Amino acid sequence: MTDILIRKDGKAGRITLARPDALNALTYDMCLAIDATLIDWAADDDVKLIIIDAEGDRAFCAGGDIREIYEIGKSGDPTRAQNFWRDEYRMNARLFEFPKPIISFMQGFTMGGGVGVGCHGSHRIMARSSRMAMPECGIGLVPDVGGSLILAKAPGHLGEYIGMTGARLAPGDAIHAGFADYVIRQAEWPALKDDLTRTGDPSHIDEAAIPAIPGNLSAMQPMIDAHFGKKSFAGIVASLRAEKSQFAENALELLSRNSPLSMACTVEMIHRLAEADTLRHALELEYRFVYRALTESDLMEGIRAAVIDKDRNPQWKHALDDLPSDAIDNMLAPLGANELTF
């Protein structure tokens, strides 16, 4: 497959995303290839660790291929999209539970589905110019691929803020929030990869790391906690509206762009996952939303506005303050026989 390069190199298993012109967006076939490879390499004594990287400078992975999802939605049969998410989430769980070190090198943008590939391993590396985001609420989805668990474990209420606003995180913020572990100068990556393939030993990663510059979110944390720590989406919006400050004004502007249904479900998911200790719990909850997404959420309209017509003017089903009381429960209700299994 030309979209992804999979091979063994010395003592390392190598997975390279190879769609730089598409910002290395993940296709269904790429997810299946990664999953099958993980199964093989878990039992392969020649593979001491796995290196995941990507071609091009602009992005490690800008997310799942949402054009592919849109075309499935237009067909009227969501089954293939549901299968896509099911198998992608199983791959995310396999990365999280993998018994050997997984080192990801994330240059440029890592967003959405890229978080699912790059942020569940043991050694998550960014460059100074790298940026991280979970922007799903902007297209009518929810933070998924296990990202909801990272958000739920972030300090204070950063998770609610990052998930609802889609904030782009510089390395310092990404490390602080739990999405990454190291900043290493990108010029040093080739030599580090050579060392990893030769030795099969990730201990030199610590030696190559440089201090991360503290990001904006650390300074904003008291304000974020004060507003985004409310018990519900409606409470967060009301809190922001009640305060006349630049922070509140900016936050409301960010929220006004995104799907109210998606943001409300994101808050609920983060709250439910506060005590979760496995990625599978998060993936099961995410799957309930995405299973219904093409027919019951804002996803099709969000993709249309963002990447099809590109008018950046989505017509969401609800306004910030008129979300029906049962809307969240309807999207996150158990799926019975269709629940995600592993």
Residues annotated as catalytic (active site), given as ranges:
64, 113, 136, 144
Number of residues that make up the chain = 342
- How far apart CA 183 and CA 181 sit, in angstroms, is 7
What element of type H or E holds 52? Answer: strand 49-54
- How far apart CA 16 and CA 107 sit, in angstroms, is 12
- How far apart CA 312 and CA 302 sit, in angstroms, is 9
Residue with tokens 């003017």: 313
Nearest to 258 by CA among 196, 320, 311, 215: 320
Q: Cα dihedral sign for 251, 254, 256, 259?
A: negative
- CA 8 centroid distance within chain: 27
- How far apart CA 241 and CA 251 sit, in angstroms, is 10
- How far apart CA 279 and CA 315 sit, in angstroms, is 33
Q: Counting runs of H as helices and runs of E as strands, what totals does the chain give? A: 16, 9
Transcribe 146-185 into DSSP letters: THHHHHHHSSTTHHHHHHHH---B-HHHHHHHTS--EE--
3 close to 29: Cβ distance less than 8 angstroms: yes
Nearest to 152 by CA among 134, 125, 170: 134
- How far apart CA 17 and CA 56 sit, in angstroms, is 9
